[in-house]
Structure 1
C-alpha cells in the first residue's frame, strides 16, 4: 500500500523548529524577566536557579544552526523508516511466505483469509483510494478490494511489485480455482504474499500481536494514559519544554540520565528507533526524532502506535507488548470490555511494568492505579465520586494460565532455542555514532502456516479418538508431529503436544523414545550398502543369535507368529519380521549399523543385537531428518527452522530454496532401493491403510511399535513423523498402525489436496537402478504362473537371474540356486534367457555342472543335466 503520511515540507518543519526555539527561550527567561521588571528581591541562590533555564535556553538558541542540521538529519531517518514500512519492519518471527499461482485450488474466502493474515487491510473505498484508515499506511502490508469476479490486491509500495494485482476466479462452475493473474494488466504466473507474523517480540515467549487502531481504544484507557503519561499530548508538538528542562536540571553533570520528562511521542521513538541506554546523547536524538515524527503523522496515529508498542510486563512465559495483549494477559478481556479500574491499572504500569505488576506486586499496583484515578479527576475525565468508589478496591487479575497465542507455539519456542544456540544477536542493530537503530531485524522461519494448521487439526482429531480408548486411565496420551522438506531440511510443521498451555514440553525435539520398527530401514540400508540383495533368503522361524562369544539373544516376531519358511530380505522389512531383521543385522555387522545410524543423525546405538529392533531412544525430529536421506538420494540434511536473519526482504526472494549443508551417507541407489521396499510397506505391508487414504501419490513409510506408536512416511517432497504415547512412558498398547498412522494420513491427505506439488506419482529414480518382476515368495524372476508377483528396484549386479523354481516349469532347478545371492567375487553367475537354451556355471566348483534347456516350437522346455 502506498505510504501517505501527513508530511510537511522540510522548510516548513524548519520554520516550526525556529518558532519552537523562540517559545522555549521566552518561557525559560520569563521568571527572570518578571523578577527584574517588578524589582523582586532575589537571593543569590534564587537568582542562580531562575537564571539556569534562561542560560540553557540561550545556549539552545545559540546552537540553532546545529539544531537545524540535526533536524534535517533526523528527518531523513524518519522519512526512510516510514517509506520502508514503519511497524512492518519491526523485529519478530515470520513464517514462510505463501505463493498464489494460476490454477491453484483456493476459494475466494480462503484467499481473503490469507491476505488478512499476511497483513493486508480490506479497503472499503476501492483501490483508487487504497487507504482504508490513516494508520494502515504504516502498519499493514497493503490493501485489497473485492469485485464480482476477482480480488484486486494493492501491495505496499516498498514491495516493488505491481501496483495492482488482480486474481480472477473461474466461472460459475469453478469458483474455487484462480483462472487468471495479472499485474498492472500484464499476465502473471504467480505472486508471493508477505510472510505472516508468528511472534512480534524476540525477547520473550510471546504470541502474534494484533494491531489496534485509535478507534479501537476505549476512551477510558486513552484518558487514563494521557492523565498519567502526557496530559498535554494533543497540544504540544512532540516535545514538552518544561519536561526537558526538568530532566536537564536533575541530571546536570551526570552523563547517565536517571529521569526525564518524555512525551508519548518521545517514548514511541525511544521504543522503536533508539538503543536502550540512557544518555544525554540518546535523549537529544529522541527529541529530534519526536519533533520530526510529529510533522509526519497525526496525533491519533502516534497514540495508536504507542499503545501497540508499549511494554507492560509479562506473566509466566508470556510477555505483554501493547495494551491489547496486556488486557488479555492480566484481565482476560478485550480492550472494549475494560473497566475504569482496569484501564487505570494498565496505564499505571507503563512507567514500571515490573514494579507495578498486578501479579507480582498487587499492593504497589493498587497504589499506582489510585494515583492514575486521582490524576483523571484532576484533569476532569472522571468525578471524585467515581474515584473514591474504586480507591479501596484491590486489583483483581484473571486466573493464571499459560497462554501462547502464537500460531505455532512449540515451533516458536524451538526457534528461540535455536537462536540462542547459534549465538545470533537478534533485535536492534545499533549505530554507535547516533544511537539510532539502523534497522529492525526480522527472523524469517521455515514454518508453513497452512500445513501447520493441518497438522494441529490432524493431531487433535486423533487424540479425540484415543481419549475414547483410554478414558479409564488417569492420564491422557500425548502426540507429536513434525514435517519437513527432505531436500532443504526446512521444518514446515511442528506440533509438540496436545496442549501448549498445559505442557510446554516439545515432544518433537525433546522427548526421546524407542522408535521400534521405524529403525529397521537403517539396518536394511546397511545391508544393501554392503552388497546384500533384497531377494536374499532368510528363515522366518524362531532363532537364537550368539553375541559377545557366549551371550544368546532370542528375538520374537510381533504377536509371536512365524511362517516357518524362507522369506526374502525385502519381505522381512515389508512384514516387519523381527527375526529376519536381527539375522540381517548380525550378517551385516552391528558396528556397521551403529556407525551408519550415527551418520544418519541418530544417536549411536549400543552394539547389541536388539539395536536392530529400535531400542536406542530417538526424537521424532531426528527420525524425520534420517528418513529424509532416503528420498534425498542418500544425502542427510540438517534440520532448519530459520531461513534468514536481517531486514525486511522482498517476498519473492523468500520463496527461493535456501542452502543447507548435506552429507552423503549412503549411495543414491541404496536410498532408492530402501524407498522401493518402504513403498511396499504402504502398498501391502503394515502401513497399507495409508494407501487408501492418500491416493494417486507415491508414498513410502514404516510403522513402529514399542511402548509408543510411531509412523514415519514420506512422499517425493515431504517427510512426516507422528508419535503417540504417554509422558510417563506407560505402555500404549496399540500398534503404530493403529495409534500414529491415522494422524499421518489425515495430515498428509489434506496437505497434498491443498498443495498437490507436495505429492508426486513417482519417486525420483537415480541412474544404476533396474526394475525386475519377482515372485514375492521366492525372490526369483516371476513366471506367468507365480501367484504373487512384485516389481522391485535393484542394481544390475543384484538382479535375480533365475526364474522362479516353485511356480515355473522346472522346480528341479531350485537345487542349483545359490542360497545367498550376495555380491562377491566368487558368487554363482546365473545366465538365463526366457526362451532359449542357457548355461549355469558355478565357478567355485572343481567341475562345471552344465544344464541345458531345450525349447521346442510350442515353447515347451526339456531339462537336460550333464556333468563335465
Structure 2
C-alpha cells in the first residue's frame, strides 16, 4: 500500500510539474517570441565625419591626406591591391578606397592616383584606366556613437554582408550542428568535451549559438541548474519560432566583443571597425579568426591587453580552419604571420571632439527622428572635419601656454563653412577631451568691439548720409545713464584722434566713433538688427551696446559674422548633414537654408571692405603679414578690464571664431589682437587660406575722397583715399579740395 501511495503521489507531482512547465512554456513562448521579434537589441546612432573630398586645385597638402588615411587606419602597401591601402610615390598618392554606404548611396571600392603641387591637389586619375576625375571621396571617419537607453553600441549588419568564411569559422568553433539541432544539442556538448580534452584547453563550446544568444539577451551569468534549464527551454522556443538565419543574424549583431573605454562593443559590425578599422565585408582570415577567438571571453581574450594569450587561441582557430579545408595552406601560413591588431592609436578609447558630439546630440533631439530608431539603427552624417578639429585643438594647446602661465585661461574655437551654413570643428575647453561645459556653445560672454560692424552696417545702409570716406569724430563724449550716472566711453589706448574717416574708425576699432554712430542710427535699430542676425539672448537697449555690452556665445558670434561672410544673409549653422538607418535608407537630408536678408548685398560689401581693412592695416594686421592683403576679413574684440579676448576671421571658405577668457570672469590681460588672434593665425596657417573675392558688386565703384574732408574728388587728384561707393556725378568744376573751381577760363587754360 505504501509503495502504491508513493507512486500515485509521485505521478501527481509529475503531472503538476508537467502542467506548470507547460503553462510556463506557453508564457515563455508568448513573451519571448514578441521580445525576440521586436526588441532583440538596441542599435547605436553611429556618427560619421564628413568624407574627405579631393578635387583638383583644392587647397590640400599630401601630409593632410596622409593624416586622414592614418586616422582611417589605411595600410601602406607596395601594391594597393586590397581596399583600405595606399602607396606614396614622390608627390603622388595611390589610394584604394574601401566600399562605403555614403548618405547619397553606396560606393564600390575604387583606386585613384592623386598628384599634389604647391599645397594643392594637382590632378585626380582613376586607376587602372587613367581617366581624369573631377572629385573623389574617402570613406568617412567614425566620430562617435550616440547610444540607446541601454547604453550599448552596435552597428547593425545583415547576414548577407557577413563573409561566408566568418560564418563557417564561427559555426566550426562554437556550434557545428547549428543548422541541424533544435536549439539544444547533446552531441555538441559531447564533441566539445572531447575536442577540449584533446587540445588540453577550451577550443570549442558546449552551448549552442542559440543558448549563447539567449544568455546574452535575457539571462544573468549565474551558474545554476535553474538558469541552465531556463536557457535550454528558451533556446528551444526561439529555435522553433524563428529561422536559423534570423537567429544567426541576431547573434552576429548581439555578441559582445569587449569595451572601448566606457562603451560596450556589440556585434561584428562595430567590432570590425573598432579592432581593424574596416567593414565586416573586408575582414581577412586572420581577423575573422581573432573575432571568433574573442567571442569565448572578451575580457580574458583582450588583444590589446593579452596579445600572447589571444594569438595562441587565434592560431588554434586558424589551425582548425586549415584542417577543415576552410583555408588553403598559403592562406593559412599568411594568416599565422599577420599582426594581431594594430597598436591603439591616440584616439582609440577616446571620443573624437566630445563638444562637437554634444552639439550633434542636441541637434538630433530637435530633428524628426523615428521613435524606434534604436531598433533600426541610425547613421548620422555630419560636417565634422577631423583635420580642422586637430588643427584647432593643436593651436589652442600650443598658444595658450605661450600667452599666459595661468592654467585658468580657457578657450573656445568654432570653425564654420558659411557657404553651406555648417559647423566643421568645435573646441569647448583647453583640454579637448574634457567633457562637460562646452564654452563654444554655452559660454555667454560680452563681445566688445565685435558688435561694431552691425552699427557700421546700419550707417552705411543710409547711402545719402554715410560712406566709407565720411568723416566721423573720435572726441570725448559724456552721456547720462538712466540711473543718473554719467558714462564717459574711452578708446582702448586712452587717446582721441579727432576727425577720421569712417573706414579708419572701423579698421582701427575706435570706440568713440562707434558710440556716436550707434546713437545716430538709433540703439533700438541696433537691437533689431542683432535679433535679425539670430541673437536670442537678452540685448540691453543702452548706449553701451555700441561697445559690446551684449553677451553671446562663440557659436552665436560665428553666426553673426556669417551674415558678413554670406552677402548679408543670416543662416543658422548645423552639424548634421543627413540621417540614414544602418541599412542605408535615407530619411533626412539637410539643404543649406536660404536664410533671410539682414543687410543688402551692397551694404554688406562696404562693411566687408572695412573688415578687410581691419586685417590689412588695423588691429588684425599681423594676419595680413602672414597671408597677404585682402586674403581675410575679420574683427577683434576686447572687453572691459581685458576679461575677454575675441577674434573672428574668414576667407572665401571658412570662418574661424576664437574666444579666450576665464570662467570666473577675472581679467586675462590680453586684447583680441594679443590673445585670440595668434590662435586664429595658427589655425589658418595650417588650414590654408583661399583669398576673399574683392570685386565690389554693382553699382559700387571705386571713388576718390578728400582725406581730411571726406568729400568726393576727381580720381586724378594727387592726395586722395579710394573706397568703393555709390556712383557720384562730380561737376566738371570740382577741384582736388572738393570745391567748385570759380577761376576764369584763361586761368584754367594756363594752370
Q: TM-score range by the shorter chain?
A: 0.5 to 0.7
Alignment partners' CA distance in 1, 2:425 and 2:544: 32
Please state if 1:730 is matched with 2:652: no
Pairwise mapping of residues 473-512 of structure 1 onto structure 2 (< 5 A)? Answer: 473=406, 475-502=407-434, 504-512=436-444
Alignment partners' CA distance in 1, 2:695 and 2:172: 69
Alignment partners' CA distance in 1, 2:705 and 2:119: 48
Please state if 1:718 is matched with 2:654: yes
Pairwise mapping of residues 760-771 of structure 1 onto structure 2 (< 5 A)? Answer: 760-763=691-694, 765-771=696-702
- Partner residue in 1 for 2:522: 589
SS at match of 1:97: coil
- Partner residue in 2 for 1:538: 472
CA drift of 1:290 comes to 7.5
CA contact (8 A) 1:447 1:493 kept: yes
Alignment partners' CA distance in 1, 2:253 and 2:377: 20
Pairwise mapping of residues 119-198 of structure 1 onto structure 2 (< 5 A)? Answer: 127=81, 130=82, 142-144=83-85, 146=87, 151-156=94-99, 165-170=110-115, 179-182=123-126, 185=129, 186-198=131-143
CA drift of 1:704 comes to 0.7
- Partner residue in 1 for 2:562: 628
CA drift of 1:515 comes to 0.5
CA contact (8 A) 2:416 2:425 kept: yes
Compared CA separation, residues 102 and 204, structure 1 to 2 (3 A): farther
Compared CA separation, residues 610 and 347, structure 1 to 2 (3 A): same
CA drift of 1:200 comes to 2.7
1:708 pairs with one of 644, 655, 669: 644
Q: C-alpha deviations, 1:109-159, integer Å up to 9, x for none?
A: 6545434544766779863xx4xxxxxxxxxxx533548675251542767
Please state if 1:685 is matched with 2:685: no
* TM-score (ref. length: structure 1): 0.60
- Partner residue in 1 for 2:51: 97
Q: C-alpha deviations, 1:492-534, integer Å up to 9, x for none?
A: 1111111145552111110111111111111111112234313
1:831 pairs with one of 703, 727, 731: 731
CA drift of 1:484 comes to 1.1
Question: Which stretches in structure 1 are left out of the alignment for 5+ residues?
Answer: 1-38, 59-66, 68-73, 78-86, 131-141, 212-225, 246-259, 272-277, 327-342, 349-401, 430-436, 754-758, 802-829, 841-850, 862-868
Compared CA separation, residues 344 and 491, structure 1 to 2 (3 A): same
SS at match of 1:199: strand
Alignment partners' CA distance in 1, 2:526 and 2:441: 24
1:202 pairs with one of 144, 147, 163: 147
Alignment partners' CA distance in 2, 1:178 and 1:205: 48
CA drift of 1:201 comes to 3.4
Compared CA separation, residues 206 and 583, structure 1 to 2 (3 A): farther
1:416 pairs with one of 352, 356, 361: 361
Compared CA separation, residues 557 and 403, structure 1 to 2 (3 A): farther
Alignment partners' CA distance in 1, 2:578 and 2:694: 30
- Partner residue in 2 for 1:610: 544
CA drift of 1:296 comes to 8.5
CA drift of 1:487 comes to 2.9
Please state if 1:233 is matched with 2:166: no
Please state if 1:852 is matched with 2:720: no
Question: Which stretches in structure 2 are left out of the alignment for 5+ residues?
Answer: 1-6, 27-32, 157-169, 187-207, 220-230, 272-295, 302-346
CA drift of 1:727 comes to 0.8
SS at match of 1:406: coil
- Partner residue in 2 for 1:291: 244
Alignment partners' CA distance in 2, 1:161 and 1:239: 36
CA contact (8 A) 1:708 1:734 kept: yes
- Partner residue in 2 for 1:513: 445
- Partner residue in 1 for 2:288: none
Please state if 1:458 is matched with 2:395: yes
CA drift of 1:859 comes to 6.8
CA drift of 1:428 comes to 2.9
CA contact (8 A) 2:354 2:435 kept: no
Alignment partners' CA distance in 1, 2:707 and 2:691: 26
Alignment partners' CA distance in 1, 2:185 and 2:695: 70
CA drift of 1:637 comes to 0.2
The number of aligned residues is: 609
Q: C-alpha deviations, 1:25-81, integer Å up to 9, x for none?
A: xxxxxxxxxxxxxx99962433675799999999xxxxxxxx9xxxxxx9xx9xxxx
- Partner residue in 1 for 2:458: 526
Q: C-alpha deviations, 1:755-784, integer Å up to 9, x for none?
A: xxxx23424643322222335444344679
SS at match of 2:722: strand
Q: C-alpha deviations, 1:690-737, integer Å up to 9, x for none?
A: 111223762111111111100011112221110001111001111110
Alignment partners' CA distance in 1, 2:99 and 2:256: 23
Q: C-alpha deviations, 1:146-204, integer Å up to 9, x for none?
A: 48675251542767777563333559x99995644115623322211222211133348
- Partner residue in 1 for 2:204: none
Compared CA separation, residues 239 and 780, structure 1 to 2 (3 A): farther
Compared CA separation, residues 591 and 856, structure 1 to 2 (3 A): same
* Structure whose CA Rg is larger: 1
Please state if 1:406 is matched with 2:337: no
Please state if 1:795 is matched with 2:726: yes
Alignment partners' CA distance in 1, 2:701 and 2:707: 17
Compared CA separation, residues 111 and 622, structure 1 to 2 (3 A): closer
SS at match of 1:703: strand
CA drift of 1:609 comes to 1.0
Please state if 1:559 is matched with 2:482: no
CA contact (8 A) 2:578 2:590 kept: no
Alignment partners' CA distance in 2, 1:206 and 1:790: 64
Compared CA separation, residues 234 and 122, structure 1 to 2 (3 A): farther
CA drift of 1:479 comes to 0.5
CA contact (8 A) 1:637 1:663 kept: yes
Compared CA separation, residues 267 and 118, structure 1 to 2 (3 A): farther
SS at match of 2:742: strand
SS at match of 1:509: helix
Alignment partners' CA distance in 1, 2:151 and 2:720: 57
Instruction: Compute the RMSD of aligned alpha carbons.
Output: 5.2
- Partner residue in 2 for 1:662: 595
CA drift of 1:750 comes to 1.5
Please state if 1:428 is matched with 2:365: no
Alignment partners' CA distance in 2, 1:575 and 1:108: 38
Q: C-alpha deviations, 1:810-847, integer Å up to 9, x for none?
A: xxxxxxxxxxxxxxxxxxxx63467899995xxxxxxx
Pairwise mapping of residues 353-392 of structure 1 onto structure 2 (< 5 A)? Answer: none
- Partner residue in 2 for 1:366: none
CA contact (8 A) 1:198 1:208 kept: no
SS at match of 2:620: coil
CA contact (8 A) 1:102 1:181 kept: no
Alignment partners' CA distance in 2, 1:693 and 1:724: 22
CA contact (8 A) 1:574 1:681 kept: yes
Alignment partners' CA distance in 2, 1:289 and 1:501: 45
Alignment partners' CA distance in 2, 1:668 and 1:585: 21
Alignment partners' CA distance in 1, 2:421 and 2:721: 33
- Partner residue in 2 for 1:307: 256
Alignment partners' CA distance in 1, 2:410 and 2:353: 17
CA drift of 1:601 comes to 1.5
* TM-score (ref. length: structure 2): 0.68
1:644 pairs with one of 564, 578, 581: 578
